């Protein structure tokens, strides 16, 4: 397929919430208690219920030269405007040839986990709902047809969670973000009936459960002396343990219409996971009492799991080993793994061996179907291609922005940056933003 004819829909990007995101949407009862940005020791920090969160760093390095990646961004002034301003985001999407984008939260945590441990459940629920309203009305609806909206829900009250799913689904939101392993955050496991009202609400309203890497099971740092590259390498694959857990979980039998996405998980490792799952079932189910109703674990995976990739040449060469109708492309803007502003070029090179039919599935058709997203009816298909979008962005500079500023930590040119270096940077940032 020609580059200009591609249609790209990313099912994993991120929004850096602008400083005023919550103020307009919090109810009068909690006036003044909404999450807000404060400057603490020269750093832009989100504060909610007397808890401070400084979160810039590798979450917002897009547009910098790679030599300036790291924990440097400390404020909105140190970030490319498209990270937090929706108009500038659409410009950056056009420059990248990307039609649609599903954006995970940043300050609340990718799964909204920072709102789950607040002592006052009332203000916590209000903040969750305020985020959902901002994300839908001020972010997604600011550019009709360009975004796949995503909600978060309370984990402590499944009736309230189900009600929030229904409230948002009625407004066209068909994705919810959730931890891939809630037990890490002190909540019941996905095998517990605690979650059944949420699963039912999602199944009934065609809402996909999106589990982003790092929200539950996390890649471990092998040692403080290990190059940070080792940890970055294992990040996507770290969700494999959770993926196995979800395969064997009970919700698929109870709610056969339910779907989930392994967001930013990659696809190259999945064929072996499925082979191993089927091997495990064949060798062990007689004594472990597992039952897939005459089918295999891989059948459950292929029916219910949406798989997602950024750059994955090996996975694209082995699509016949997974369900190609459930594979989706992602960009990961504005994180350090993203391919902006060359996403279309990268994808075209890796997919050159694929038919136009397969390319259309994994670039947009699968995402449109699974997330109930129909940009063509709003924009017209002819206006959704890489060529058309890039033509609208000739005014957008995609050159690396030098010297955006920030922490500018010293690095020893004679040794690699290690896990210990990064952990110390995080610790220093936490100490700096302590209230």
Residue with tokens 């091997």: 279
Residue extents of the structural domains in the chain: 3-432
Q: What is the pLDDT of residue 56?
A: 62
Angle at 110 between CA 107 and CA 111, to 5 degrees: 115
The per-residue pLDDT for 57 is 64
Measured CA distances, 42 to 20, 45, 77, 205 (Å): 19, 9, 11, 44
Question: What is the predicted pLDDT for the residue at 55?
Answer: 60
Contact 174, 155 (CB under 8 A): no
Helix/strand/coil for 282: helix
pLDDT at res. 404: 79
Ranges of residues in the chain with a pLDDT under 50 are none
Q: Are 198 and 153 in contact (CB under 8 A)?
A: yes
Relative to beta strand 175-177, strand 208-212 is parallel
The reported pTM is 0.96
Beta bridge partner(s), residue 100? 9
CATH superfamily label, 3-432: Metal-dependent hydrolases (3.20.20.140)
Whose CA is closest to 311, among 268, 270, 271? Answer: 268
pLDDT at residue 218, as a whole number: 81
Q: Is the dihedral of CA 45, 15, 198, 239 positive or negative?
A: negative
Q: Which residues of 263-279 are buried (b: 16+ CB within 10 A; e: fewer)?
A: bbbbbbbbbebbeebbe
């Amino acid at each position: 397929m020609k580059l200009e004819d591609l249609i790209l829909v990313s099912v994993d990007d991120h929004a850096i919430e602008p400083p005023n995101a919550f103020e307009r949407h919090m109810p009068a009862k909690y006036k003044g208690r909404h999450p807000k940005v404060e400057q603490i020791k020269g750093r832009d920090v989100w504060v909610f219920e007397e808890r401070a969160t400084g979160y810039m760093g590798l979450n917002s390095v897009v547009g910098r030269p790679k030599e300036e990646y790291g924990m440097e961004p400390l404020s909105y002034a140190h970030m490319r405007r498209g990270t937090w301003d929706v108009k500038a985001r659409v410009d950056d999407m056009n420059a990248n040839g990307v039609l649609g984008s599903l954006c995970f939260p940043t300050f609340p945590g990718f799964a909204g986990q920072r709102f789950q441990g607040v002592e006052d459940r009332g203000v916590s629920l209000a903040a969750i709902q305020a985020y959902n309203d901002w994300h839908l009305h001020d972010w997604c609806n600011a550019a009709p047809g360009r975004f796949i909206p995503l909600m978060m829900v309370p984990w402590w009250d499944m009736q309230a969670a189900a009600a929030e799913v229904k409230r948002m689904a009625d407004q066209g939101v068909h994705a919810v973000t959730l931890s891939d392993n809630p037990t890490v955050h002190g909540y019941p496991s996905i095998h517990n009936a605690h979650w059944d009202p949420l699963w039912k609400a999602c199944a009934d309203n065609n809402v996909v459960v999106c589990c982003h890497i790092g929200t539950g099971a996390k890649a471990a740092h092998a040692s403080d002396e290990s190059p940070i590259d080792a940890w970055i390498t294992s990040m996507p694959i770290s969700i494999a343990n959770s993926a196995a857990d979800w395969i064997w979980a009970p919700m698929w039998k109870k709610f056969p219409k339910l779907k989930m996405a392994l967001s930013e998980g990659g696809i190259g490792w999945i064929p072996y996971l499925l082979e191993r799952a089927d091997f495990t079932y064949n060798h062990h189910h007689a004594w472990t009492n597992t039952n897939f109703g005459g089918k295999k674990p891989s059948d459950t995976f292929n029916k219910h799991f949406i798989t997602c990739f950024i750059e994955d040449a090996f996975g694209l060469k082995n699509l016949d080993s997974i369900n190609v109708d459930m594979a989706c492309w992602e960009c990961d803007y504005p994180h350090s793994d993203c391919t902006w502003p060359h996403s279309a070029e990268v994808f075209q090179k890796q997919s050159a061996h694929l038919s136009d039919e397969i390319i259309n599935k994994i670039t947009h058709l699968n995402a449109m179907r699974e997330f109930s997203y129909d940009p063509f009816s709003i924009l017209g298909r002819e206006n959704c291609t890489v060529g058309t979008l890039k033509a609208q962005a000739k005014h957008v500079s995609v050159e690396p922005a030098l010297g955006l500023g920030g922490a500018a930590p010293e690095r020893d040119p004679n040794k690699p940056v290690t896990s210990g270096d990064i952990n110390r940077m995080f610790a220093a940032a936490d100490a700096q933003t302590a209230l």
